Amino acid sequence: MAGTGATTATPTASSLARAERFVWLTARVLEQRRFAYHFLGGAAEPVEAALAAYRNEDGGFGHALDPDLRGPVSQPLHTAHALRVLDSIGRCGGLRVERMCRYLTAVSTPDGALPAVHPSQRGFPSAPALAVADDPPSALLATGPVVGLLHRNQVWHAWLFRATDFCWAAVDALGGTARPRDVGAAVVFLDSVPDRSRAEASADRLGRLVRERRLVVLDPPPGEGADPAGGTPSGGGPLPHDYAPTPGSLARRWFTDEEMERSLDRLASRQQEDGGWPAPGREWTPAASLETRPIATVEALRTLRAHGRPVGP
């Protein structure tokens, strides 16, 4: 496997070449392997090997796989992150995922869903938005993406039945107080849940809610915008591509072509001088921001390419 040979960044270098240098300079091994898989013709096996370093004996994942949760313990948000990685390389199945489902069963709330943060995180650092509680409630933020990705990959496990019911109820309950990150989690669920007619109807309702409640920035000024799971620096908010990172998402129907083009223009313009994209949300510790930026960079390039934007050779 060979890279593009980018060793220095120049004003005329492609977005991909500039990002490549940034990734080799700053990223964890996992994001380096992911970048190589998605953009340099790399294999899936090295991505799996790098991800395995974060896996715990209980079948979950820890060790700051999600940089906003530090420490070694398994957490639902780490497991959601691991599933996203496996889904992106076509390896979301088999005994590995069976073990993950056993972990999910063990840490579920009484209604069969997942808390955003399991109490085992107590004593380890975490972002202020991810507070630790002794008896945390079920959270669409954690449950929706996990359930959606398992359905997307046709994984069948007993845990999914009650968790899917929880997600339907949580999506139906989203209203005037909905947060963008919960809407984003709902979209991941709706994009893959088997009941497609119900999913489309729910997505249509959420799209109207997003526009009516102004949970999206449709005409972003320079420097504005953040993803639904993160914060809203500079007073901005999520952009259309944050809800619909691929054109096949149900959320893509929420926006006109012109709105999506402006959103993608803003995403492309946010590549920084060092070749990377900024970390979403507000910085709470330098380590988390440093580790999040390569993740954001890989995802930005994937989103641009999925929507047909050229990123480089």
Do the beta carbons of residue 78 and residue 60 sit within 8 Å?
yes
25-47 in b/e form (b: 16+ CB < 10 A) is ebbbebbbbbbbbbbeebeeebb
Between CA 244 and CA 146 the distance in angstroms is 17
* Cα atoms in the Cβ-side hemisphere of radius 13 Å centred on 20: 22
Residue 96 burial by CB count (10 A; 0-12/13-18/19+): exposed, middle or buried? middle
Beta bridge partners of 126: 69
286 alpha carbon, distance to own chain's centre: 20
pLDDT (0 to 100) of residue 287: 95
pLDDT (0 to 100) of residue 14: 93
Between CA 182 and CA 114 the distance in angstroms is 14
pLDDT (0 to 100) of residue 223: 52
pLDDT (0 to 100) of residue 236: 66
pLDDT (0 to 100) of residue 220: 81
Q: Hey, what are 229's tokens?
A: 């799971």
42 alpha carbon, distance to own chain's centre: 21
Question: Which stretches of the chain score pLDDT less than 50?
Answer: 1-10, 224-235
Q: To 5 degrees, how large is the angle CA 245–CA 247–CA 250?
A: 85
pLDDT (0 to 100) of residue 267: 97
